[in-house]
Structure formats: structure tokens, C-alpha cells
Structure 1
């Protein structure tokens, strides 16, 4: 368990760039470097997370931990990856964040954003090579990227994934995938029951003003509704808890969540501490737990049987279509928000090209790339 926790803790300290970048970091660390799972298993976890509400990249991390060490492994992965951003967001909520204005810190963060461009580009290229070998999958990838670039919305993401699954069933199902002796699919209804109980409980607590139960209810319902994770959580949280604080305070929390490594869902940590001033740590813990747990419970419903599920001919075809669409989503995310928020001038693009070349030619450890980009970013900012 300690190995899982420590590996994810290290990534939680350096994973800037949002969900798309996190998927790239996970792939490089756990598929390419540590080989805890192969690329096919990893892609199936990514595809499954796309269909489930909740924090997409954290769900993938949870699935990797579960694959490596069962339920405790999944929890260790979640705690390791989330702990740095949780502590930072809590610190920002109860103290001043003026140190973020320091030139060296701003430069280091900008350098890590450039590294996120490199990592996401590498992940996109690798996944394209693996999952877009047929004309149909290439068309699905390109169509998905174009659609989400031109009409970036949660509805569009869900639509293209559904269309890709249907096209996959129709055009990508292969007869040789049939396995008559394949084990029966067994969903874990225990976790589904816990999710339903949690959701029902949230509707009870929603009418309990000035209580930790209300905080649990608000964040549990958001975690049960948000698909795609990342920036998608902003409008739902603003609708849910925005009325309890000033718009400026809410947007400050959102800006800080973008500036730090780790999952953006830890915006809930900041908001929870703000909503429960009599004991900010309690508010932060309840809000963070409540927004993450629905997605993990739903992942656990089918995660153990996901390999068997994915072997069924129709499901395999649908999964092939979804994998191609995920590459398209990743390509769109590479441009917006990863590239557009990081590459501002020609020097930035030059650093991205240099970093990508070093990654592909010399294949250094991710740690060295993080140190290098943070250092260069700080130096350039102070010049």
C-alpha cells in the first residue's frame, strides 16, 4: 500500500494541467515506466471513467490503485494523489495566498504548465497509434476533436461518446472476440446500494440549513451529476453553493484550483472550509469526501468485472469506438485548455518542442522533466 500511496503522492505534487494532463502523467508513470498495467487495461479504465459521473482523472487513478492493490490500493491512490492539493486548498482558504504572486513561483507554475503540454501531446500521440489504426477509428477521432473544439460543452462530450459507442457496435464489432466460456458479468450491487443510499440521504440533508449535513448534500449531488470532471465542475458548484459566498471569493477558489497540481475537484476543499467557518477543517473534509465518493462508488459497481464486460463482442466494438473518441477528446483538450493556457509566446513553444524532443529521444524520468521545467520557468520569469 505504501508503494501505491507514495507513487501517487509524487504525482499529486507535480500533476499540473488538469484532467487531460493527469491522464498523460498516469500513462507515463504506470504504463510506460512502472508497467503496473498494460496500455489496453489503462485505456479501458479511461473509457469507463468517461461514462461515469465524477472526477475523471481521479477515477482513473483510483482504478489503477484498485487494479494494483484492491480496495485499499484504490483508496491509497486517491489519498496520495489528492492530499497535496487538499492541503494547499485548505491552506489558501484559512490563510493568505499572497506568496502565489512571487515572480519565481509564478514562473515555476508556468514552466509546469508547459510540461503539461508535452505530456498531453505524448499521451495523445501514443493513444492515437494504438487505438486509431482503422479508417473508422481515425474518422471517429477526428470528428470528435472537431466537434468538441467547435462546440465545447458537456452535452457535446456525452453526445460524441454515445455516437462513438453506437458506431463501434455497428462497424467495429469483430466475430473473433466471441468467447463462449467467458465468465458471467457480475456487477457489485453493494456499492450501487451505497451510492443510492448516499444520494437519498443528501436529499434529506438538503433541507437542514446551517449544518455539515447540508454541505455533504450539496457536494454529494454535484459529484453525482458532473460528467467529465475538471472544469465541468465549475458551473455546477456555482449553482449549488455560489449563493453562500461572494462571487469574488468563489472565483478566487477556482483560480487557485487551476494554479496547483492535482485534481480540480479539490475546489470543494476551499469552498467547504469557507462554508463552515466554525471548524474549517471539518467543512473541508466533508465537502471533499462528498464530491469524490459518488464517482468512486459507481466505478466500483463494474470495475471488478470490467475486463469480462469489455470482452463481449458488442462491448468490445463499443469500447473501440469510445477509445477512438477519447483520443479525439484528448486532442481537443491538448489545444483548449492545456495549450492555450500555457503557450503565450514563441519562447514557450520552443520550450515545448525541446521538452517533447527530449522526452521522445532520451526518455528521461518524469521527475527530471518536472524539475527542469519548473527551474527554467522560474529563471526566465526573474530575468
Structure 2
């Protein structure tokens, strides 16, 4: 299939439809509005349904209903809207329902601004709703990977009966790049015997619920969820890394920030520095073991983010105190430049070669 030049937000919609998504429920918010616009135009052409809900809260509960019927369903929003969805996301995770949730992050806290940011890392990886639940969190760094991970996201959601979050930002949502969509021929959506599709008098009713009034029963349910999250940790870690063996310094970044970091690394290598890279593609499960590959001669790990240091906590956990953890970030929608990252690396390593 030929590559097509597409805006990131629209590529998400195209990938979702190719993956079998037939229902979208959402509410407008910048910088992801091109996605619901695309879905409103294209879903009816494949027998699907687009609904602009009266609020983000209504949208996520519509997702709950559609997911419960076994349909492939998606919603999208940006940071303040995702915050409003948190109760519903907790219900969906507690009820073990598959769906894909797209978060195109913007600056915060509160309403913040409409520029790109990475301030929802805590929300996505630690859960903004109540209870001990987890989402699979996928962090693409370009439009091709964005489309690929959306398709993978629907498969992962079905496999684990769990919500999957695509964590992007306003930059990847608005940029245009060539994208080629995976061939889905022969790919079947697994049968969902648990779905509430009506019994027709042939079986007992399926019950989907996250309410357990008996404490022992709720504990068993939580233990079952934790077993599932441990399977996800064992099987689904995705990471890109390079030059960890003899690095003077390793930089860790995800999403679009990692692209800027790669440019900085290229500049530094031309000046004789040995710089490694760890780019988590899954933020949950997090690639902690990848950091064990860093040699003890390394001067430390620099985390670069468009926030005040949220992934830094996971980097510190991964390093286990073995070496220093440094941080460089921009906030409020400001984007770090390769030159700023080069300067920070030289400060850590003691100046020019």
C-alpha cells in the first residue's frame, strides 16, 4: 500500500477504522479536534456511529456501554478532558472492558494552554481514577508509529480486556508525515463470549460490573487484575535503545521529545561524545530492565520531558541508585530545542571535548 501524507490526528482515525473500530464518542477540545471531525465524516461510510456527547463524562460512559457489548470503540480528548474521564476510565478498567483512549496532551495544570506538553504522564501511568488499576500506555514518536500503535492498541485491549491509552501531544497530532497502514487482511477480532449481546434464551445473562459489596470478593477481583497487569509487564514491554554499552551519558525521553533528543545526540556525536538513548514506547509497562544494560562507567542518565519531571521518577526506580539521574524539561507548552539539550549534556559531562 502506498504511503499517504496525513496529519497525526487524522491518521489515528484512519488506523482505528482499519482496525475495526466502529464507534467513537467524544467532545471537542484542542489540539485533537481533527480526530473527531475525521471520525464523524468517515465512520458512517463503514456502518459505524459517531456521537458528539454533551460532555467528556458522558462520552466515557458511552464508551463503557459500547465496550460492554463487545464492539471496538474509541474516545479521544486532551488533558483537561481526559481528567474529566477518569472516573469512567476506572469503571472500565474495573469491569475489564477493552477500548482505546487517545490523549493528545497540552499544557497544564487546569485549562493551561493549547500547546504541546507531556504533563499527563502521572495521570496515564499511575491512574487518575480510584483503585488499583492500570492502563496499557503507548507513546508514539512519529505519525507512522502513531498509526501502528493505534492498530496494536485495539488488539491489546481485546487480548487483555483492558483499556489502552495512546499518549501523544499536540505536536504529533498536528504534524503531517507520510504514513502506510498495516494490512489487516485475515486479521479477525476475537470472539467475546463475555459481552452483553442478549441471551436469546440460549444462555445465562452476562453481567458486567465493577461493584463488589463483599470485601473478600472484591479482594479476589483485585488479585485477578494484578495477575493480569503482571502478565502485561512480562509480555508487552516495548522500547527503543542504542549505544548503551560504552556511553558517556544516556538520555531517556519518549514521544515527540525523543525525536528532538535524537537530533541533539547526533550533534553531540559529531563532537566526539558517546551518548546512549532509551526511548520507552510502552510507558506501562515501563522498560525498567533496559536500564540494567547501561555500563557502570556511564556518568548518569538525563531525562528530557515537556514537563517538570514526571517520567524522572520511573528512571530513578530503574537505575536503583546505581548512577546519577539528571533532568531537563520545559513546561507550559514550551518545546525543548536540540541546542538546549546539547548544552545540558555538556554541563553534566564538564564542557566541550
Asked whether the two chains share a fold, i.e. TM above 0.5, the reply is no
Structure holding more helix per residue: 1
TM range (shorter): under 0.3
Q: RCO greater where, 1 or 2, for CA within 8 Å and sep 6 or more?
A: 1
TM-score (norm 2): 0.26
Query: Please, what TM-score do these two structures have when normalized by structure 1?
Result: 0.25
